[in-house]
Structure 1
Amino acid sequence: YQFGFTGTPIFPENALGAETTASVFGRELHSYVITDAIRDEKVLKFKVDYNDVRPQFKAIETEQDEKKLSAAENKQALLHPDRIREITQYILNNFRQKTHRLQAGNKGFNAMFAVSSVDAAKLYYESFRDLQKGSDKSLRVATIFSFAANEEQEAIGDIQDESFDVSAMNSSAKEFLSAAIADYNVLFKTNFSVDSNGFQNYYRDLAKQVKAKEIDLLIVVGMFLTGFDAPTLNTLFVDKNLRYHGLMQAYSRTNRIFDATKTFGNIVTFRDLEQATIDAITLFGDKNTKNVVLEKSYKEYMEGFTDANTGEARRGFVEVVKELEQRFPDPAAIEKEADKKAFAKLFGEYLRVENVLQNYDEFASLKDLQTVDMDDAAAVEAFKAKHYLSDDDLTALQAITLPAERKIQDYRSTYNDVRDWLRREKTSAEREKSTIDWDDVVFEVDLLKSQEINLDYILELIFEHNKKTKSKAELVDEVRRVIRASLGNRAKESLLVDFINQTDLDQIGDKASAIDAFFTFAQGEQQREAQELISAENLNAEAARRYITTSLKREFASDSGTELNAVLPKMSPLNPQYLTKKQSVFQKIAAFVEKFKGVGGQV
């Protein structure tokens, strides 16, 4: 007997004249379709956008007739320099938003760009290189394509089998790929080539670097669109006609489960694949599949909707923000445990819906609008041009109120405070007395981390703020606000405040010098406080420095094993005070490590 296992079976509708899965293997024994996998939380939904901001090319982008698409003049239109440049610029403008990299230092996710031909791959690769010249934050772009098959498939949505046969590549394609591999070799200090073994090794190494997020954007024609699993990849840009199994396979590169930040696979198409998408997901599911597989619209997430699958009513962003501002206008004033719980649930709901909306261009426009001076006509026109907005679109955006960034920082700070209070500060005795059940509260740590502000950013903020105002009190207030909203750096609050108060910031000439000055200061404080801790607790100096150094390297202190025991002053384990002393020393060292991890230097 032959048993066939496939995620995308060949039906008569998508057979393209070939045999079907049923004609080869017989009747279907069992099916587990994409809606089942989404229900079981094995894969994610898709959010599909047709980006149609190039009106002069709209006719060819919506064309479905393969013979027309294959015509020389239409191929030329799809590869027009203006179109290539506009699409490249759109990707560069929106890449960090789509891949959750808006916050400085956040690695977020990476993306793939599926194009129609080797010629298209070449033009896009060169366009990214040209448009990023002089940029200090260039995307790392790589490309790969197989040989004969890709060059034949132009307008067909099916994805041909990959081939490592170098002999089938024409000289132009070979020359381009050699140049792209040479760029890759410079980037990663490797030595791959276009010969058969060298190309296979390049393929393997490229797969590894994409999975490690060392490549930001991978341009492909057919390769990597089937069977390649990289959970860190969340976005697929598409400028090729896909359909049926080829479409599902390509889209599915993005919908692997990763963390709470990744809520769906992000598909941005520069051709109108709406009907092709609906046809494909209906073929591999059922008539209700569209409601399960495709993510809701921007309007639904803003205004709320009822989940067709579960019947659950989901509140929109506007309603959540309204309740947040009405119930908790001053988050610092929250004192009662019931209010802390209510706030934690509500702000968690805000973080979840905002995390989803970050992937929508309309929401990016709304956030960008907050920084525009509406009295500056030139700035308004530039904003409209950047986001492709009409006057009516702008008016609709202005009708929506977003909380000020400072208010969100205050909310994040309080959210972190409540989490710390619940995790560390509540004693077991208090927990027993409490009548509040916290079991239904989930702190969205992954979402907080996805918007984390790194230390370099905070130090650059200190430098910039000091240039504008010479008031250290105002600067300290601003830094406290920012750092308390940070999950990873809030333990460094006192260190940063001491740096501001003890440093002549006017003598610092640039941002890099501000960062260097802080680390020099922090390393000095680290040595001083380590010595104070060792003396005050009468610790074994050599063992304590060794234990603290190890803890700083791994960025946390551990009380398991015997390392900590060697640090303690001489005391019998049978002494009633031994465990109390051990716990007290451990907590102080743990706090020290939280404060100084990442600053380098010696203890």
Structure 2
Amino acid sequence: MSYFNIVAETSENTVVTEYEPVKRRSDSYQSEAELEQEFIRMLCEQGYEYLPLHTERDMISNLRERLQELNNYEFTDKEWTYFFNNDIANPNFSLQDKTRNIQEDYRKVLKRDDGSTKNISLIDKTNIHNNRLQVINQYVMGLQDGAKHDNRYDVTVLVNGLPLVHVELKRRGVQIREAFNQINRYKRDSFWAGSGLFEYVQIFVISNGTNTKYYSNSTRDNAIRDAKAGNTKRGKTSNSFEFTCFWADANNRVIPDLVDFTKTFFAKHTLLNILTKYCIFTSENILMVMRPYQITATERILNRIEIANNYKKYGSVAGGGYIWHTTGSGKTLTSFKTARLASQLSYIDKVLFVVDRKDLDYQTMKEYDRFEKGAANSNSSTRILKRQLEDNNAHIIITTIQKLATFIKKNPGHEVYEKHVVIIFDECHRSQFGDMHTAIVKNFKRYHLFGFTGTPIFSVNSGKAKNPDFFTTAQTFGDQLHAYTIVDAINDNNVLPFRVDYIKTMDVDEEITDEMVWDINREKAMMAPKRIELVTKYILDHFDQKTYRGDKTYIYNTLTNIQEVASAERGAVEEIKRSQRLSGFNSIFAVASVPMAKLYYQEFKRQMELDPTKHLRIATIFSYAANEEEVDGLLDEENPEDTTALDQTARDFLDGAIDDYNKMFHTNYSTDGDRFQNYYKDVSLRMKNKEIDLLIVVNMFLTGFDATTLNTLWADKNLKMHGLIQAFSRTNRILNSIKTFGNIVCFRNLQKRVDSAISLFGDKNAGGIVLLQSFKDYYYGYESVDGEHMPGYVDMVEELKEKFPLMDPQIIGEQNQKAFIALFGAFLRMRNLLLSFDEYKGNELISERDLQDYLGRYQDLRDEWRRKRENNESADITDDIVFEVELIKQIEINIDYILMLVKKYHDTHCEDKEVLITIKRAVEASPELRSKKALIESFIAGINDVEDVMAEWRDFVVGQRENDLAQLISEERLNPENTRRYIENAFRDGEIRTAGTDIDKLMPPVSRFGGSGRDKKKQAVIEKLKQFFEKYYGVGGAMSIGGTQKVVYGERRGEIGMVAEEKR
């Protein structure tokens, strides 16, 4: 590493360069109280002040003193009362408003008693060491403060008197997830109570001593909102425990133990830097806390700019460098923060962020706008780019290589070339970049060139022998400033590992993969009609298995106005989103050429017409007959803007495929100009919405396209190196606990290429981390690299049947119950993993009936323990217990299945009691149908001689729902119109919302209640609304004002509709 980098490393780096863990002094048992005392002692040693503060009155008094100290001003009592009640503890402030108070509006205007004004800062972001850090513990928020239950919080860090960081501890040996759940309970029960100061917490830290993680208040807040939604939103979004983060050093070495975490994360300058610099409060009101590798990369670039400026090394590779952060690790967020902070340096005139495709330009702009509205400027033409480069107020500009190249070509000697600029390139590996690089170096005089890449070009994969103009990433940008590889990302659970299947499709020597041998005759054999037919049949036969299609598994925010967004000028139409229930995931099929894409598309249509039960929503897109593969493994870039490079045959075929697409989605696209660009955008948006099941591509969508709903790549294409990792990485974005890996199904023998690519972009031992074990390993168990035996599926089933046989009427004793929950949870996770293996079918070892019985017991225990906790029967009732709710939901029985059984019962003239037992078992096993048990039993009891059970059920539900709602309105004396509108919105959004003033609008007039009486009444109404919602949500169609029903069409196989539509 160069001299400049060494100079830039200082003790004030937010992330420590290299951390050596502290040697443990004791192996003796450590209680939670002892852990807490040790933590506080370490904070005090690091300069925190301990306060024996336990009540809100004391907290408000301390807050006043700290703000007076920070602002060098003493409030009068009148000024303080007004300021506190209006600018800090305003009862109308939501959690988002309080977050904005810290992240954006931290300077307030105080109106003094004499009529003059003064700026009051809640936090000093310019000189962070002006902020006072204090620590408190065992703070009590109880019933007298208006809380639902008495709560005692573990440890809280006050910044200038405001609680900005909260720490929840569990003793060593207890699952860290329970600390996460504990904080969720505080949010539900008491954070909002009193003056609501604990809603100012920005960052939460959870630890069991051994493992320690941090996360933002949005993760916690959204997790609570998801939990409130009648158990309907349990998939892993950015709201769930899986999005909590470990802290690490700059070498990506995780720092899990609380002692080490405290010495690094809680170092005063580190914590204050994170709070003041490395949090982003997005335009969607989500607080994002950057991860250590993102912070390190940002600071390394800023340090390089600073040192290069001081030593006049700008205008050379010594003034730049590159960041190697693997695909999917959040490079856009890192680049945004880097660009934002670089643009604030006094001597920097412009920051240019350069992408290599028009669609990525638009996508990046949308992301930047999400991070901070209006922070960056994008351009749809070179003319606009020129205007922005000449505008002194346009500090951050997003553009494409093509537009920047055109600008330089048309504007020799432009004044911008004399400006001091930072130019950041994102994944620019195309061959045209060599020319672009030369043009920049030749024209700009004072530049710092930085590259962000997930797959750097090294000498081994540069293809320099075939293309001497192509440079390695280091030759182009300079030193590698930071690396965060795919191995790091998988270890940190930031992206998923891959599971690769190799499906043999030809009776030839599959080991022959050398490019010289792979001649035109071999490619013709690959396109043989019989082979195309077999591969297509394999995909159709295995699609549901690989993508988990067919079960209601998760709620997802889908875009509802796709066609308007796709057809409008960028940003001209606001995106409208709503929560929808989606079933399974979707996939991309990467093929070798346009002729092959055509053959597959036609074969899919033919086979689906023969067997409508295997219907998929299929689309295809390409813009020219790309090369089969590039020598360096780089995927040849297709142009999403026009199709002029296509021959007539290919264009006619694509027009036909687009015509099919138009019929499927009621659109009007074609291969002509703007209509093709809009088709590209529409396909992109519908892939993200999971409205397309399978997209056939040649090279498009294999780089730079992110869709968390995509979990499978089918590959009939010779991928290698950079292109292979980029294509595979389309599948490994984190979404929920059902999606545990990216599925890769190769119809060519790419095993050596996969191993080579993973070794190059991870390390030589990366295969065991990046790729999953074999079916045999998971099924029978295996030895880990540490020599530990990892139990297999067979072991788990045997233990389940032996220790918890279904013939025993119940599981007695708390320890036995804990053991069952832990074992059955492990079984559910392993079953979820095995479901995508072809070999699992027929080797389940447990019948569907027994599985339902076990699920019923699991649910009974979950309900029982939740009731005990809510009734405060045991403070630590769920210590080291985690219920796998998402996985229960994945295999749950839906209402259609129950109605099919009811019809079967009806067809036996209501005499087959075995069917009733099956119905009872199925309802007990389902987390969603349990709340509808009484409704289903009432329907069965009253069923008469009817022709259509489904129609009878719908009519029954609508009638019952209307009666129950009318009764609820009458009993609680609610406003009828407002209540109906509120319920309609709840059914539309998939959750009961309790934040804001919505509930207040339903309540009887204020005069009927006073103080805490009204709060109790409000809480009782909320509980009844939740019970009503849980009983009727998901059955009987949508609600609408006045009791009339909106028809929501269900998804059926063989039916052309949108996956995003509600499924009944």
> TM-score, normalization: structure 2?
0.49
Kept in 2: contact 1:559–1:586 (CA 8 A)? yes
Q: Which moved more, 1:14-23 or 1:439-448?
A: 14-23
Deviation at 1:530, TM superposition (A): 3.0
- SS of 1:87's partner is helix
Deviation at 1:448, TM superposition (A): 2.2
* Aligned: 1:452 with 2:895: no
Kept in 2: contact 1:114–1:237 (CA 8 A)? yes
In structure 2, C-alpha distance between the alignment counterparts of 1:536 and 1:473, rounded to whole Å: 38
In structure 2, C-alpha distance between the alignment counterparts of 1:87 and 1:275, rounded to whole Å: 22
Deviation at 1:553, TM superposition (A): 4.1
Deviation at 1:32, TM superposition (A): 2.1
1:69 alignment partner in structure 2:
518
Q: Where does 1:21-420 land on structure 2 (aligned, <5 Å)?
A: 21-52=473-504, 54=505, 57-59=506-508, 61-72=510-521, 74-103=522-551, 107-133=583-609, 135-136=612-613, 138-148=615-625, 150-151=626-627, 153=629, 158-163=634-639, 164-308=641-785, 313-330=789-806, 333-367=810-844, 402-420=845-863
In structure 2, C-alpha distance between the alignment counterparts of 1:32 and 1:575, rounded to whole Å: 54
Kept in 2: contact 1:70–1:154 (CA 8 A)? no
- SS of 1:31's partner is strand
The one-character-per-residue Cα deviations of 1:272-304 (angstroms, maximum 9, x if unpaired) are 111111111111222111111111111111122
Q: Which residue of the other structure, out of 909, 921, 935, is the alignment partner of 1:481?
A: 921
- SS of 1:58's partner is coil
The one-character-per-residue Cα deviations of 1:427-462 (angstroms, maximum 9, x if unpaired) are 443124xxx552322222222232233322321232
Aligned length: 555
In structure 1, C-alpha distance between the alignment counterparts of 2:976 and 2:905, rounded to whole Å: 41
2:936 alignment partner in structure 1:
496
The one-character-per-residue Cα deviations of 1:218-253 (angstroms, maximum 9, x if unpaired) are 111111111111111100011111111111111111
Kept in 2: contact 1:157–1:240 (CA 8 A)? no
Q: Which residue of the other structure, out of 584, 587, 590, is the alignment partner of 2:1023?
A: 587
* Aligned: 1:11 with 2:447: no
Deviation at 1:586, TM superposition (A): 3.3
Kept in 2: contact 1:235–1:265 (CA 8 A)? yes
The root-mean-square deviation of aligned C-alpha atoms, in Å, is 2.7
Residue 500 of structure 2 aligns to which amino acid in structure 1?
A: V
In structure 2, C-alpha distance between the alignment counterparts of 1:465 and 1:552, rounded to whole Å: 30
In structure 2, C-alpha distance between the alignment counterparts of 1:132 and 1:100, rounded to whole Å: 19
Kept in 2: contact 1:61–1:272 (CA 8 A)? yes
Kept in 1: contact 2:778–2:792 (CA 8 A)? yes
- 5+ long unaligned stretches in structure 1: 368-401
- 5+ long unaligned stretches in structure 2: 1-315, 317-448, 554-581, 1044-1064
Residue 182 of structure 1 aligns to which amino acid in structure 2?
A: D
In structure 2, C-alpha distance between the alignment counterparts of 1:22 and 1:492, rounded to whole Å: 62
Deviation at 1:423, TM superposition (A): 2.6
Deviation at 1:199, TM superposition (A): 1.7
In structure 2, C-alpha distance between the alignment counterparts of 1:14 and 1:446, rounded to whole Å: 42
Query: Are the structure 2 counterparts of residues 94 and 238 from structure 1 closer, same or farther at C-alpha, using a change threshold of 3 Å?
Result: same
Higher-RCO chain (CA-CA 8 Å, sequence separation at least 6):
1
- SS of 1:159's partner is coil
2:135 alignment partner in structure 1:
none
In structure 1, C-alpha distance between the alignment counterparts of 2:523 and 2:631, rounded to whole Å: 9
Residue 90 of structure 1 aligns to which amino acid in structure 2?
A: Y
Query: Are the structure 2 counterparts of residues 311 and 108 from structure 1 closer, same or farther at C-alpha, using a change threshold of 3 Å?
Result: farther
In structure 2, C-alpha distance between the alignment counterparts of 1:517 and 1:230, rounded to whole Å: 40
2:964 alignment partner in structure 1:
529
- SS of 1:443's partner is coil
Kept in 1: contact 2:628–2:718 (CA 8 A)? no
Residue 65 of structure 1 aligns to which amino acid in structure 2?
A: D
Deviation at 1:346, TM superposition (A): 1.4
Deviation at 1:465, TM superposition (A): 5.1
Query: Are the structure 2 counterparts of residues 91 and 469 from structure 1 closer, same or farther at C-alpha, using a change threshold of 3 Å?
Result: farther
Q: Which moved more, 1:587-596 or 1:239-248?
A: 587-596
Kept in 1: contact 2:855–2:925 (CA 8 A)? yes
Kept in 1: contact 2:629–2:718 (CA 8 A)? no
Kept in 1: contact 2:852–2:921 (CA 8 A)? yes
Kept in 2: contact 1:60–1:78 (CA 8 A)? no
Deviation at 1:173, TM superposition (A): 0.9
* Aligned: 1:517 with 2:958: no
Query: Are the structure 2 counterparts of residues 167 and 354 from structure 1 closer, same or farther at C-alpha, using a change threshold of 3 Å?
Result: same
In structure 2, C-alpha distance between the alignment counterparts of 1:318 and 1:294, rounded to whole Å: 22
Deviation at 1:130, TM superposition (A): 0.6
In structure 1, C-alpha distance between the alignment counterparts of 2:979 and 2:679, rounded to whole Å: 47
In structure 2, C-alpha distance between the alignment counterparts of 1:108 and 1:300, rounded to whole Å: 25
In structure 1, C-alpha distance between the alignment counterparts of 2:526 and 2:628, rounded to whole Å: 17
1:507 alignment partner in structure 2:
946
Deviation at 1:144, TM superposition (A): 0.9
In structure 2, C-alpha distance between the alignment counterparts of 1:315 and 1:36, rounded to whole Å: 25
- SS of 2:695's partner is strand
Q: Where does 1:526-565 land on structure 2 (aligned, <5 Å)?
A: 526-536=961-971, 544-565=979-1000
Q: Which moved more, 1:170-179 or 1:533-542?
A: 533-542
Query: Are the structure 2 counterparts of residues 253 and 542 from structure 1 closer, same or farther at C-alpha, using a change threshold of 3 Å?
Result: closer
2:866 alignment partner in structure 1:
423
Kept in 1: contact 2:547–2:711 (CA 8 A)? yes
Residue 3 of structure 1 aligns to which amino acid in structure 2?
A: F
Query: Are the structure 2 counterparts of residues 159 and 544 from structure 1 closer, same or farther at C-alpha, using a change threshold of 3 Å?
Result: closer
Question: Would you tell me which structure has more helix in proportion to its own residues?
Answer: 1
In structure 2, C-alpha distance between the alignment counterparts of 1:485 and 1:171, rounded to whole Å: 57
In structure 2, C-alpha distance between the alignment counterparts of 1:475 and 1:592, rounded to whole Å: 28
Query: Are the structure 2 counterparts of residues 229 and 545 from structure 1 closer, same or farther at C-alpha, using a change threshold of 3 Å?
Result: closer
Kept in 2: contact 1:69–1:155 (CA 8 A)? no
Deviation at 1:104, TM superposition (A): 6.8
1:376 alignment partner in structure 2:
none
Deviation at 1:79, TM superposition (A): 0.8
